[in-house]
């Protein structure tokens, strides 16, 4: 077993419930690598909701809260406000974060509260067996869109940026080094950090959504269909931009804003 | 608002205000909420009070988020509470189940209004009595306290925090619009109390707060004492459910609070909880001919004359009725033993409720075995029972019996 | 020289490692992992440049690369 993996993962809980070739394991490794580099293991709590990707932190030898479907961000906000000096990292999927938890995401972004949300976007409801998610591409046949999905997929990163998240990055599982750096940066950033990870689901999304069942080929497809964007770069139509999409260091964080208001009223904390 | 006073003092407060004061005294330092009539005064007061007392407040996007946030905060080591009314309470059921399965001590105040759905925002009811007990899916036991005065709203809030910490369970303070908006004299305790109950053997889930290096896993699936999921193992899962239920049901004597009034010689009892216990007590006074010090009895007598005619009113000798009150403070877990003991000499128990007669079924189940006749006296619509209504019902039933 | 080990208790046989290694160190074998599917083996370990992409890309933490001065673990 990998040394870092052995240090952070509960051996007795193995095997992970991820299918062979699942992208969640890659995100899992990137996250523990980031925690290790920052040396924040005991000052960090991981919160997750329901879905395949929400199982990522459940194997961590850390403080972990595995909550109800869509509510991870709401739990995380309570935890953060109670312990403002600690780091809270939320692991969520596209269905968990954008569908059932959409309202919590909007408001946490708008507050710019200092938590880091890693949204693993595999464009499908994997755990329940392959139903359409808010991020499923138009036309994709799933168990709940047998004639092809009619909806236009939601863009999580763009949504978060627009509504007020001050750090937004998008990477794919084919970019593990950049992803790890983004998680590090997101945790260090004071404010709401939203990191979207395009991830392969070879089993449930494979054939119908990606037209490909091989995890390696899906990752190659991610590389082909995305381009690394830098501030000022022109947009490439038909491709998804990845990279650091927004970093606003001037945006004031929620708890700071609350404390500022209190200080103006003579209440020191 | 003065957050922490130095010595005991008496004040005239609204029930909702008393609840906030009680929470503050009990060491609550995190409040997440969403405004909803008729509980809004609690979130209004707590917003300022929490922050002035060094605690935290957040107005969440909905009641679902509020209930989640207080659970998150409690794992952050801060005692926490939220308050709502019927529609919001329905939204919170998901998290109440989560708090029950993860054994998280939280306090939720439900200031009941009339339902279903948006129902009657400004009028009172006791319609959430079953939702308080059975609201979330799955099997769990829960503690529910029902105050019937502003003082009790204050005292029971404190007790709710104590019980939540002791049994590591969500505790519901089931108030209603009458009590929430009523103003009464209340004695407030000085200072603040930090209830710590320590590790309890009957708790099956991990208990260590976060960020202590204990690597706590809080798991919404059925789990073992390390937080590892056991949901796929029938035997262990069954034991888990037994455990989280029996930690409450095995300690009913510690949790339950049943008060009696004039029950020493009573053969008829009125069993009530929450705001309805107030007119019920007045009905007992009327029946027993006990005059209260406000001099209202002559007035009532005049009304009686008007209603029944002089002759009939004079002939009615209420004081021969041996009626008493059984007031249930801890409505759930159902205090079987205590109610059976209190009603052991009664042939008739009348249960007035501001709903379609829900709790009376439990009472019937409890007392049916000892041959006591249980009569439900339901009243929907938002008005409290009047003492005379209850008295009339007693008379009616007695006549039927005789 | 690096010592590359693949834990057969962890490996689920997805073979992502085969394509991420720039030196093509991993090869398919008939060896079985704990789940009964085939698993790769590290050959030509002398070629390893310690980029550790295999460690990062293995979804199950099965691969460990030892040696070299780039050992950040």
In 10 A of CB B44, how many CB atoms? 16
Q: So what's the pLDDT on residue B311? A: 60
Domain with A251, as residue range(s), is 20-264
User: Residues of A near C (CB-CB distance < 8 A)?
Assistant: 1-7, 9, 14-16, 18-26, 28-30, 33, 36-37, 176-177, 180, 202, 215-216, 219
A178 in a structural domain = yes
Looking at residue B47, which CATH number applies to its domain? 3.40.50.970
Neighbours of chain C (3+ CB pairs under 8 A): A
A12 in a structural domain = no
Averaged pLDDT, A214-224: 95
Q: Do the Cβ atoms of B325 and B272 come closer than 8 Å?
A: yes
- Residues of chain C with Cβ-Cβ distance to A202 below 8 Å are 14
A253 in a structural domain = yes
- Percent with pLDDT over 90 in chain A: 95
The secondary structure element, H or E, covering residue A195 is strand A193-198
Q: So what's the pLDDT on residue A201? A: 95
| C-alpha to C-alpha distance for A134 and A153, rounded to whole angstroms | 6
**For the segment C16-34, what is each residue's pLDDT rounded down to a tens digit?**
999 999 999 999 999 999 8
What's the Cα-to-Cα distance from A112 to each of A85, A123, A191, B314, B400, rounded to whole Å?
Answer: 15, 26, 5, 73, 68
Q: Which one, of B138, B161, B37, B50, lies nearest residue B88 by Cα?
A: B37
B254 in a structural domain = no
| C-alpha to C-alpha distance for B361 and A222, rounded to whole angstroms | 62
Same domain, B121 and B266: no
A33 in a structural domain = yes
Q: Which of B188, B214, B249 is the last residue of a domain?
A: B188
The answer to whether residue A82 neighbours chain B at the CB level (below 8 Å) is yes
pLDDT at A98 over 80: yes
B394 in a structural domain = yes
Q: So what's the pLDDT on residue B297? A: 60
The two beta strands, B107-112 and B80-84, are parallel
Looking at residue C25, which CATH number applies to its domain? 3.30.70.20
- Residues of chain A with Cβ-Cβ distance to C58 below 8 Å are 2, 25, 29
Domain with B374, as residue range(s), is 260-401
Q: So what's the pLDDT on residue B296? A: 53
C61 in a structural domain = yes
The chain A residue lying nearest C60, using CA atoms, is A25
Neighbours of chain B (3+ CB pairs under 8 A): A
**For the segment B181-207, what is each residue's pLDDT rounded down to a tens digit?**
999 999 999 878 777 777 788 999 999
Q: So what's the pLDDT on residue B401? A: 45
Task: Give pLDDT tens digits along chain B (402 positions).
Answer: 445 567 789 999 999 999 999 999 999 999 999 999 999 999 999 999 999 999 999 999 999 999 999 999 999 999 999 999 999 999 999 999 999 999 999 999 999 999 999 999 999 999 999 999 999 999 999 999 999 999 999 999 999 999 999 999 999 999 999 999 999 999 999 878 777 777 788 999 999 999 999 999 999 999 999 999 999 999 999 999 999 999 999 999 999 999 999 999 999 999 999 999 999 999 998 888 776 554 456 666 677 677 767 665 655 555 678 999 999 999 999 999 999 999 999 999 999 999 999 999 999 999 988 889 999 999 999 999 999 999 999 989 887 544
CB-based contact A65 B72, cutoff 8 Å: yes
In sequence order, what are the residues at sequence separation of 6 or more whose Cβ sits closer than 8 angstroms to the Cβ of residue A120?
A23, A24, A27, A52, A53, A56, A91, A92, A93, A94, A197, A199
How many domains does one find in chain A? 1
How many domains does one find in chain C? 1
Looking at residue B302, which CATH number applies to its domain? 3.40.50.920
Same domain, B44 and B181: yes
CB-based contact A82 B72, cutoff 8 Å: yes
Q: So what's the pLDDT on residue B312? A: 59
| C-alpha to C-alpha distance for B274 and B146, rounded to whole angstroms | 5
Tokens read off for A105: 């995401």
Q: So what's the pLDDT on residue C10? A: 94
Q: So what's the pLDDT on residue B201? A: 87
Averaged pLDDT, A191-202: 97
| C-alpha to C-alpha distance for B350 and B363, rounded to whole angstroms | 10
What's the Cα-to-Cα distance from B325 to each of A9, B101, B260, B263, rounded to whole Å?
Answer: 59, 36, 6, 6
How many domains does one find in chain B? 2
Q: Quick one: CA torsion of C54, A52, B96, B39, rounded to 10 degrees?
A: 90
Q: What angle do CA C64, B226, C12 make, to 5 degrees?
A: 30
Same domain, B40 and B168: yes
For C39-51, letters b (16+ CB in 10 Å) and e give: bbebeeeeebeeb
Neighbouring-strand partners of residue A119: A92, A196
Looking at residue A245, which CATH number applies to its domain? 3.40.50.970
Domain with C19, as residue range(s), is 3-66
Q: So what's the pLDDT on residue B51? A: 93
ipTM at complex level: 0.96
Distance to chain B for A263, nearest Cα, Å: 11
Q: So what's the pLDDT on residue B313? A: 60
A13 in a structural domain = no
**For the segment A10-42, what is each residue's pLDDT rounded down to a tens digit?**
999 989 999 999 999 999 999 999 999 999 999
Q: Do the Cβ atoms of A191 and A251 come closer than 8 Å?
A: yes
- Alpha helices by DSSP H, listed for B135-211, are 150-167, 177-181
**For the segment C31-66, what is each residue's pLDDT rounded down to a tens digit?**
999 888 999 999 989 999 999 999 999 999 999 999
Cα atoms in the 13 Å half-sphere on the side-chain side of B388: 11
CB-based contact B220 A68, cutoff 8 Å: yes
């Amino acid at each position: 077993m990998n040394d870092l993996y052995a240090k952070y993962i509960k051996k007795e809980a193995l095997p992970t419930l991820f299918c062979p070739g699942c992208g969640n394991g890659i995100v899992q490794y990137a996250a523990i690598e980031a925690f290790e580099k920052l040396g924040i293991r005991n000052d960090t709590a991981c919160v997750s909701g329901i879905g395949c990707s929400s199982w990522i932190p459940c194997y961590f030898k850390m403080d972990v809260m595995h909550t109800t479907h869509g509510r991870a961000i709401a739990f995380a906000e309570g935890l953060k406000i109670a312990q403002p000096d600690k780091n809270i990292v939320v692991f969520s999927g596209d269905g968990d974060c954008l569908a059932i938890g959409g309202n919590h995401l909007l408001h946490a972004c708008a507050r710019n509260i200092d938590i880091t949300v890693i949204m693993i976007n595999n464009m499908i409801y994997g755990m329940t067996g392959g139903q359409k998610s808010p991020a499923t591409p138009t036309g994709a046949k799933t168990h709940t869109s047998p004639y092809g999905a009619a909806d236009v997929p939601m863009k999580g990163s763009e949504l978060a940026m627009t509504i007020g998240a001050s750090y937004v990055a998008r990477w794919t599982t084919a970019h593990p080094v950049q992803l790890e750096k983004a998680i590090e940066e997101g945790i260090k950033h004071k404010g709401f950090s939203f990191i979207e990870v395009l991830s392969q689901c070879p089993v449930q999304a494979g054939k119908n959504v990606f037209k490909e069942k091989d995890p390696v080929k899906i990752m190659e497809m991610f590389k082909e269909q995305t381009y690394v964007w830098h501030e000022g770069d022109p947009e490439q139509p038909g491709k998804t931009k990845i990279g650091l999409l927004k970093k606003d260091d001037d945006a004031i964080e929620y708890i700071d804003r609350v404390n500022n208001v209190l200080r103006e009223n003579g209440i020191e904390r | 608002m003065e957050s922490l006073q130095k010595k005991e003092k008496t004040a005239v407060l609204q029930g909702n205000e008393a609840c906030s004061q009680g929470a503050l005294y009990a060491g609550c330092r995190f409040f997440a909420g969403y405004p909803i009539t008729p509980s809004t005064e609690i979130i209004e007061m707590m917003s300022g009070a929490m922050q002035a007392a060094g605690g935290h407040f957040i107005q969440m996007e909905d009641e679902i988020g509020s209930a989640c946030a207080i659970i998150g905060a409690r794992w952050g080591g801060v005692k926490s509470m939220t308050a709502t009314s019927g529609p919001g309470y329905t939204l919170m059921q998901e998290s109440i189940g989560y708090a029950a399965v993860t054994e998280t001590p939280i306090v939720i105040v439900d200031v009941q209004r009339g339902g279903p759905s948006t129902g009657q925002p400004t009028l009172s009811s006791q319609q959430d009595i079953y939702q308080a007990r059975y609201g979330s899916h799955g099997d769990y036991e829960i503690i529910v306290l029902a105050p019937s005065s502003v003082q009790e709203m204050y005292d029971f809030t404190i007790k709710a925090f104590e019980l939540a910490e002791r049994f590591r369970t969500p505790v519901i303070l089931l108030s209603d619009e009458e009590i929430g908006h009523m103003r009464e004299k209340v004695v407030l305790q000085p200072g603040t109390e930090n209830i710590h109950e320590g590790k309890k053997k009957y708790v099956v889930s991990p208990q260590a707060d976060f960020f202590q290096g204990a690597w706590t896993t809080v798991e919404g699936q059925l789990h073992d004492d390390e937080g590892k999921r056991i949901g796929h193992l029938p035997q262990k899962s069954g034991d888990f459910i037994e455990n989280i239920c029996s930690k409450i049901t095995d300690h009913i004597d510690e949790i339950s609070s049943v008060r009696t009034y004039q029950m020493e010689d009573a053969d008829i009892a009125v069993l009530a909880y929450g705001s309805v216990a107030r007119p019920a007590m007045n009905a007992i006074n009327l029946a027993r001919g006990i005059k209260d010090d406000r001099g209202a009895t002559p007035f009532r007598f005049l009304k009686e004359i008007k209603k029944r005619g002089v002759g009939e009113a004079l002939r009615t000798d209420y004081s021969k009725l041996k009626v008493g009150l059984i007031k249930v403070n801890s409505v759930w877990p159902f205090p079987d033993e205590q109610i059976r003991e209190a009603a052991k000499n009664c042939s008739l128990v009348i249960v007035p409720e501001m709903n379609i007669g829900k709790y009376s079924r439990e009472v019937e189940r409890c007392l049916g075995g000892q041959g006591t006749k249980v009569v439900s006296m339901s009243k929907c619509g938002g008005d409290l029972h009047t003492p005379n209504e209850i008295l009339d019902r007693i008379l009616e039933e007695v006549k039927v019996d005789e | 020289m690096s010592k590359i080990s693949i834990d057969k208790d962890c490996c689920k046989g997805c073979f992502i490692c085969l394509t991420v290694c720039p030196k093509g160190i991993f090869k398919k074998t008939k060896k079985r992992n704990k789940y009964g599917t085939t698993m790769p083996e590290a050959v030509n370990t002398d070629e390893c440049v310690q980029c550790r992409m295999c460690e990062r890309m293995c979804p199950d933490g099965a691969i460990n690369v030892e040696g070299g001065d780039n050992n950040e673990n």
